[in-house]
Amino acid sequence: MVTIQAVAVVLSLLLAAPAATARSDHGSARSESASTRTEPAPMQSVEPTDSPQPQPAAFARCLAELQPRAAARGVPAQAYAGYTQPVLPDPSVLELLNAQPEFTTPIWDYLAGLVDEDRIEDGQRLLQEHRELLQRVEQAYGVDPATVVAVWGVESDYGRIFGKRPLLVSLATLSCAGRRQDFFRGEFIATLALLQAGDIRDPGLTGSWAGAFGHTQFMPTTYARVAVDFDGDGRRDLVDSIPDALASTANYLKRAGWRTGEAWGFEVTLPPGFDVGSVGRTNRRPLSDWLSRGVKRVDAAANTNTKPAMPPADTRAAVLLPAGKAGPAFLVFRNYDAIYAYNAAESYALAIALLSDRLRGASGLAAAWPTDDPGLGRRERRELQTLLLARGHAIGEVDGLIGTNTRRAIQAEQQRLGLQPADGRAGRRILQALRAEATASPAPAATP
């Protein structure tokens, strides 16, 4: 089998930001890896930095130079002109490409936003709604329904959030200016080839600033390589066809080495004196080795349908400590790597893995994250934003996304209330403080 890692190892990728909580305003270069797309790191917010602007003449010259490459991929000159003539460069994508981290998001905030009640309830409903389809996908690719739906939920909030930037504009700009032109030229040409082949039909198609789009948020080259036509209409359509999108997600995981019927991993406890130098996703040992060191499943005593089977003793396994020794610990197997390949970030892979467990009916983590100020789900984030609006902060619409304006408003409230640290973080403590205040004396707008 040709693995995704082998196919994509030549690509130096930036890191993708799963889901709406991280996608709109983040950006940071990350390591070389095989993944579905190129985008910002999920754990960081960013502030744009200055970038050189593409000049109109140079932009036109650049597009003319790319035309033969598109022709070699089946896009005739006349069609190329039709696709590219309306395209003007968008300097704002270059700002995102070069953006520097402004905030670092703790993993408990990241997971609280992605594995929240809304996403669990929606996912469970969609598992029922698409039950027959998901069974056929499982038969064809060997990937179980909960995993496929969890990827869908984290990638696009089950098809709600595709990104708002015109793909051809972003990719043409990034192909002709900035520091990753070679990479983005491949994505630009792949997009044109998908349009010309009829897989996608709308040249005004939108996606993330870096070019990920559709239900699965694949980059165009990943789309070209991995997407499948599962509804049989002759087109691989990951924008308007849920069957194509879910089957393509399963196909991606299969090609990344998915093992049918095996768990991604599970939460464990570590024995006293455990050597933390032995942890990390790439530090693999036989499962029996970890068990003999005293690593134990937290659900060892449970006897439910949701409890995954223990793999064979010689299965290669790694221990993860995403927040250090004081937080939850996990033992992970090959399927965790397959999920990781989708986006090359530990936090991202863990969000999908934990969401898939919740969709199967499992309860949340046994161990607490090492914080006395836990993270908020999107309902609570919206409540926090509503309270900030009521106090007169101009933070825009209540959308559950914690952007720069919301953070500044939180910071101002933290300072007013004497909460430390006044870091602008949307945590439980500031929510409870504002909630208590609003209950005790409603804001003027809410007073009769």
User: Would you say 229 or 437 has its CB closer to Ca ion?
Assistant: 229
Q: Residue ranges of the alpha helices (H) in 293-333?
A: none
Build a one-symbol-per-residue string for 130-159: x at contacts with Ca ion by CB under 5 A, - elsewhere: ------------------------------
Nearest approach, Cβ of residue 75 and Ca ion (Å): 21
Least gap, CB of 231 to Ca ion (angstroms): 4
List alpha helices for 85-238, DSSP H: 91-97, 107-114, 117-129, 131-141, 145-156, 167-176, 181-197, 220-226
Binding range to Ca ion, per CB under 5 A, among 16-24, 62-70, 98-106, 221-229 = 221-229
What is the C-alpha separation between 159 and 354, in angstroms, rounded?
A: 20
Our CB check for Ca ion shows the closer of 121 and 233 to be 233
The residues near 66 (Cβ < 8 Å, ≥ 6 apart) are 175, 185, 188, 189
Rank residues 116 and 199 by Cβ distance to Ca ion and give the closer one: 199
Three-state SS letters, 252-282? HHHHCCCCCCCCCEEEEECCCCCCHHHCCCC
> Do residues 288 and 263 touch, judged by C-beta distance below 8 A?
no
Q: Is residue 122 a contact residue for Ca ion (CB under 5 A)?
A: no
Residue 217 DSSP symbol: T
- For the purposes of burial, counting CB atoms within 10 Å of the CB of 353, is it exposed (0-12), middle (13-18) or buried (19 or more)? buried
| Calpha distance 189→125 (Å, rounded) | 38
**Shortest gap between Cβ of 242 and Ca ion (angstroms)?**
10
Question: Angle, nearest 10°, between helix axes 378-390 and 404-417?
Answer: 70
Confirm or reject binding of residue 199 to Ca ion (CB under 5 A): no
Subset of 322-381 contacting Ca ion (CB under 5 A): none
Residue 235 near Ca ion by CB under 5 A: yes
- Binding range to Ca ion, per CB under 5 A, among 12-20, 86-94, 237-245, 347-355: 237-245
- Torsion from C-alpha of 289, 291, 292, 295, nearest 10 degrees: 120
**Least distance in angstroms from the C-beta of 142 to Ca ion:** 21
> Which of these segments, 75-83, 184-192, 241-249, 437-445, binds Ca ion (CB under 5 A)?
241-249
* Given 32, 47, 121, 233, the residue binding Ca ion (CB under 5 A): 233
Judged by CB under 5 A, how many residues of this single chain contact Ca ion? 7
Per CB under 5 A, the segment of 71-79, 104-112, 138-146, 236-244 that binds Ca ion is 236-244
Q: Which is nearer to Ca ion, 199 or 346 (CB)?
A: 199
Among 95, 244, 337, 380, binds Ca ion (CB under 5 A): 244
Residues 6+ apart with CB under 8 A from 68: none
- CA dist 44 and 105 (Å) reads 6
Give the type of residue at 222: T
Compare residues 182 and 233 and give the one whose CB is closer to Ca ion: 233
CB of 245 to Ca ion, least distance (A): 10
- Please give the Cα distance from 57 to 377 (Å, whole number): 47
Q: Establish if 229 lies at the interface with Ca ion (CB under 5 A).
A: yes
Question: At 164, is the secondary structure helix, strand, or coil?
Answer: coil
Shortest distance in whole angstroms from residue 232 CB to Ca ion: 7
Q: In 10 A of CB 63, how many CB atoms? A: 21
Question: Shortest distance, CB of residue 442 to Ca ion, whole angstroms?
Answer: 53
Choose between 197 and 291: whose C-beta lies nearer to Ca ion: 197
Using CB under 5 A, pick the residue from 102, 231, 262, 289 that binds Ca ion: 231
Q: Which is nearer to Ca ion, 30 or 235 (CB)?
A: 235
Residue 152 vs 348, nearer CB to Ca ion: 152
Q: Which stretch binds Ca ion (CB under 5 A): 20-28, 204-212, 234-242, 267-275?
A: 234-242
User: Is 243 or 377 the residue whose CB approaches Ca ion more closely?
Assistant: 243
- CA angle, residues 115, 350, 148, in degrees to nearest 5: 75
Choose one: 26-34, 92-100, 226-234, 360-368; the region binding Ca ion (CB under 5 A): 226-234
Coil, helix or strand for 363? Answer: coil
Read off φ and ψ for residue 427, nearest 5 degrees.
-120, 180
Per CB under 5 A, the segment of 53-61, 196-204, 235-243, 343-351 that binds Ca ion is 235-243
Minimum distance between the CB of residue 200 and Ca ion, rounded to whole angstroms?
11
When the beta carbons of 157 and 244 are compared against Ca ion, the nearer one is 244
Tokens of 150: 């969890």
Report in angstroms how near the CB of residue 319 gets to Ca ion at its nearest: 41
End-to-end CA distance of the chain: 68
State the residues that interact with Ca ion by CB under 5 A.
229, 231, 233, 235, 237, 241, 244
